[in-house]
Amino acid sequence: MKPLAHTALSAPLALTLALAIPSLALSHAFPTHSEPRVGWTIANSPPKVTIWFDGELEPAFSTIAVYNSAKQQVDKGNSHINSKDATVLEVDLPNLGPGTYRVYWKALAKDTHVTEGDFSFAIAKK
Ligand SMILES: [Cu+2]
């Protein structure tokens, strides 16, 4: 999965944090893998989309949204960080029909840096 952007939420704040706590400067979060996997075609509607990151996320600004090919949002709107693991972002899905779906994610890391990107997966026709 390739993150498409890595921008500072607030440059002055990020700079202040980076200077104050150097070890946090590199802790922005990038995805390591997802379920469904990037680009894969799967047989059945998945119960949710899960993305694992390489660092802990801030719950308030970290989101996943899933769209169908008609650009309608199809997820259940409950995008959230996993309660047991702050590096995991997930959103529940209703039962989806065959087609291609696009997942847009945005992650705010503890260092105030935002990463975002998108990928697709497909559900095969029966
Ligand atoms: Cu960063």
The Å distance, Cα 115 to ligand 1 centre, comes to 8
Is 73 part of any domain?
yes
Tell how far the Cα of 107 is from the centroid of ligand 1, in angstroms: 10
Q: What's at 100, amino acid-wise?
A: T
Query: How many domains, the chain?
Result: 1
Looking at the DSSP bridge assignments, the partners of residue 73 are 67
Q: Is residue 21 part of a domain?
A: no
Domain at 107, CATH number: 2.60.40.1220
Q: Is residue 62 part of a domain?
A: yes
Q: How confident is the model at residue 29 (pLDDT cuts 50, 70, 90)?
A: very high
> How far apart are the C-alpha atoms of 67 and 23, rounded to whole Å?
37
Q: Is residue 99 part of a domain?
A: yes
Distance from the alpha carbon of residue 106 to the mean position of ligand 1, in angstroms: 13
Distance 64 CA to ligand 1 centre (A): 19
pLDDT at residue 12 tops 80: no
> What confidence category does residue 22 fall into, taking pLDDT thresholds of 50, 70 and 90?
very low
Ligand 1 center to 84 CA (angstroms): 23
Residue 21 Cα to ligand 1 middle (Å): 13
pTM: 0.79
Nearest in space to 50 (alpha carbons), one of 15, 23, 20, 87: 87
